[in-house]
């Protein structure tokens, strides 16, 4: 009888917020070096830059040279701030970072990675409905479209195991600690509905700096909020999520 294949060690962290005038470079290099020693792949969960500038993405890429394992990523809302999201993605891809989108996934040792930025909209029975003003309908349409992009990516994978990488949260449980009034702007159950149509092994997201580390979808899929600020408080000796898949 053949032995079970080794489990893939996934490190995940979000909200690095690399700034043009940031002095955090040495800290990130050290972080990426430690991740390389302990994980087989790194997932970056959005808000990689502070203002979504090409120059900030280049600074991040310079720090990522310390990372010796494959890197996958999604963008966050900060990465869209300056209208240079496409440039940010080009810089990252030029540095061999796999930017996860509906047509771009990643596979390693039998584990498939799918991802998207996600969007807000609220959770469960409190989800915003596409009713009323056009601006409300457009907001909901954006949330729906992000969920559809994730569905396309998940449908394209044919791996035994699957990991989803997001910026916005798919559940409310990992937002606990943030003001409840802003929950609708931190994620949407539409993402969880898509995830629960598939056999997903783990979900990683960021965005909620004062949230909770771990929760589950209705189906029971584990969800991890791996925002750097949160992880520095939860496990300061290891400020990133590390999960075996």
144: enclosing H helix or E strand: helix 134-156
Assigned domain for 3 exists: no
Average pLDDT over residues 69-82: 98
Assigned domain for 164 exists: yes
**111-115, strands of its sheet edge to edge:** 106-108, 111-115, 161-165, 202-205, 222-225, 214-216
The share of the chain scoring above pLDDT 70, in percent, equals 96
The answer, yes or no, to whether residue 21 has pLDDT greater than 90, is no
Assigned domain for 80 exists: yes
The domain spanning residue 221 has which CATH number?
Answer: 3.60.21.10
The share of the chain scoring above pLDDT 90, in percent, equals 93
Expressed as residue numbers, the domain containing 160 is 9-244
Assigned domain for 167 exists: yes
Token match 């970072």: residue?
A: 97
Strands 106-108 and 111-115: antiparallel
The answer, yes or no, to whether residue 24 has pLDDT greater than 60, is no
Assigned domain for 134 exists: yes
**9-13, strands of its sheet edge to edge:** 98-99, 71-74, 41-45, 9-13, 241-244
What pLDDT band is residue 20 in, cutting at 50, 70 and 90? Answer: confident
Tokens of 3: 């032995």
Query: 126 burial class (0-12, 13-18, 19+ CB within 10 angstroms)?
Result: exposed
Residues in contact with 199: Cβ distance below 8 Å, sequence separation at least 6, in sequence order: 162
User: 113-150: per-residue pLDDT in tens?
Assistant: 999 999 999 999 999 999 999 999 999 999 999 999 99
Name the domain count of the chain. Answer: 1
Assigned domain for 79 exists: yes
Judged by DSSP in three states, 210 sits in: coil
Token match 């300056």: residue?
A: 82
Assigned domain for 2 exists: no
The CA distances from residue 121 to 79, 138, 196, 203, in Å, are 19, 11, 18, 19
Assigned domain for 104 exists: yes
Average pLDDT over residues 68-97: 97
User: 173-221: per-residue pLDDT in tens?
Assistant: 999 999 999 999 999 999 999 999 999 999 999 999 999 999 999 999 9
The CA distances from residue 105 to 198, 227, 228, in Å, are 15, 22, 24
Residues in contact with 124: Cβ distance below 8 Å, sequence separation at least 6, in sequence order: 172, 189
């Amino acid at each position: 009888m053949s032995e079970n294949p080794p489990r893939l060690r996934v490190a995940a962290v979000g909200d690095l917020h690399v700034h043009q005038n940031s002095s955090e470079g040495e800290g990130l290099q050290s972080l990426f070096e430690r991740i390389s020693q302990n994980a087989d792949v790194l997932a970056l969960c959005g808000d990689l830059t502070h203002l979504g500038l090409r120059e900030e993405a280049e600074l991040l890429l310079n720090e990522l040279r310390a990372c010796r394992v494959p890197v996958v990523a999604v963008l966050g809302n900060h990465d869209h701030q300056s209208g240079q999201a496409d440039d940010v993605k080009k810089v990252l891809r030029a540095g061999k970072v796999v930017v996860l989108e509906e047509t771009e996934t990643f596979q390693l040792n039998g584990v498939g990675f799918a991802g998207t930025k996600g969007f807000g909209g609220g959770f469960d029975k409190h989800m915003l409905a596409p009713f009323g003003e056009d601006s409300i309908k457009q907001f909901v349409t954006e949330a729906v479209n992000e969920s559809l992009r994730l569905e396309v990516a998940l449908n394209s994978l044919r791996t035994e195991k699957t990991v989803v990488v997001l910026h916005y949260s798919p559940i409310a449980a990992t937002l606990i600690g943030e003001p409840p009034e802003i929950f609708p702007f931190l994620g949407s159950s539409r993402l969880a509905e898509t995830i629960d149509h598939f056999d997903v092994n783990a979900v990683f997201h960021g965005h909620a700096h004062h949230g909770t580390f771990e929760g589950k979808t209705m189906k029971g899929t584990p969800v991890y909020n791996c925002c750097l600020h949160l992880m520095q408080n939860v496990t300061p000796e290891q400020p990133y999520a590390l999960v075996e898949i």
